Structure 1
Amino acid sequence: MAKDLPPFDPKQALQFFCQHGHSGWLGLQYSDHGEDWVELELPWREDLLGEEDRHVLASGPIVSLLDMASGMSIWHTKKVFTPIATLDLRVDYQRPAKERSSVLGRVECYRITRSAAFVRGIAHDGNRSDPVATMAGVFMTIDKDPRSDR
């Protein structure tokens, strides 16, 4: 980690990430974090429905929520933002979210090796003991840009 950089701050970083791209369009919001985990919120929006007649968030935005929470948990655990790539992300849906309900994605980075980071987490609509989905993932960590000598 560069000595002149402050440690990675999930709340501050999400403000930057959500000014651009897919995370910004989804409107992801910071919820909470701990030593090795980050929780983000995907607010309910009518344009994110999976089916017109059911007022439940679609599965695609929930996968995006968990993917972003995964990256944030890795950077928070490593204490620094470095490039990562999703190698494997498995999401198992348990049930639909409650109608007109936001979904929270809480992801823990439980192991980091020289070249990989392992995460696990849940998506829930307010009750962590009754998840909407569970997830597990593996991310490649990239400490050096292979296109340069830096």
Structure 2
Amino acid sequence: MFDGNGQFDPAAFEALLSGHGHNSLLGHRYHAHGPDWVELAMPWQEALVGDRATGAFAAGPVISLMDNTAGTAVWMKRGGFLSQVTVDLRVDHVRPIATGATLIARCTCYRLSGPIAFVRGVGYDVSPDDPACQVNGTFMLIEGQGA
């Protein structure tokens, strides 16, 4: 889960998670990251469709991807996998995701304040400049682990 310089590696971490539990079922996978952001992706699957008439993703898988990505952004900011709990997560659906498209979530942990981490991000299918959804979240950092 760490690179050669001892830094948290979200690609290695997500590779570990992607084969287990709901991450595997939903198809979550690492997409990209930069110094202060991370992207996870969820390919379209018929099993995740919430509206058969349009082929749109159900809300639950979208929220799960956004929560997973937001939590990974906190781990990047904290420098590793440390215990935390999602306290609040708001996902605003701005427009429909194109049928058959992969949803990519990009999140940034922009502030750590005592035991709370603040995250914001977008979900998109073509460009982060044209989001399908937006997310804002707060996470409680578990005491004694880098809080």
Q: Common fold, TM-score beyond 0.5? A: yes
Q: What SS class does the counterpart of residue 53 from structure 1 fall into?
A: coil
In the other structure, the counterpart of 1:78 is: 78
What is the CA distance between 1:7 and its match in structure 2?
2.2
Kindly tell me the number of residue pairs found equivalent between the two proteins.
Answer: 141
Deviations 1:60-91 (A, max 9, x none): 11110010001111111111110010000001
In the other structure, the counterpart of 1:138 is: 138
Partners in 2 of 1:8 and 1:26 — Cα distance?
24
Runs (4 or more) in structure 1 with deviation over 6 Å come to: none
Instruction: Answer whether contact 1:56 1:101 (CA < 8 A) is retained.
Output: no
Is 1:20 aligned to 2:20, yes or no? yes
Q: Give the alignment's TM-score, normalised by structure 2.
A: 0.91
Partners in 2 of 1:11 and 1:143 — Cα distance?
26
Instruction: Answer whether contact 1:50 1:56 (CA < 8 A) is retained.
Output: yes
Partners in 2 of 1:78 and 1:36 — Cα distance?
11
Instruction: State percent identity of aligned pairs.
Output: 38
Q: CA RMSD in A?
A: 1.4
Partners in 2 of 1:101 and 1:56 — Cα distance?
9
What is the CA distance between 1:18 and its match in structure 2?
1.3
> Which residues of structure 1 form unaligned runs of 5+?
146-150
Instruction: Map 1:3-82; keep pairs closer than 5 Å.
Output: 6-82=6-82
Instruction: Answer whether contact 1:107 1:119 (CA < 8 A) is retained.
Output: yes
Partners in 2 of 1:143 and 1:15 — Cα distance?
27
In the other structure, the counterpart of 1:115 is: 115
What is the CA distance between 1:114 and its match in structure 2?
2.1
Partners in 2 of 1:96 and 1:41 — Cα distance?
16
Partners in 1 of 2:144 and 2:49 — Cα distance?
39
What is the CA distance between 1:48 and its match in structure 2?
0.4
What is the CA distance between 1:14 and its match in structure 2?
0.3
Partners in 2 of 1:127 and 1:107 — Cα distance?
14
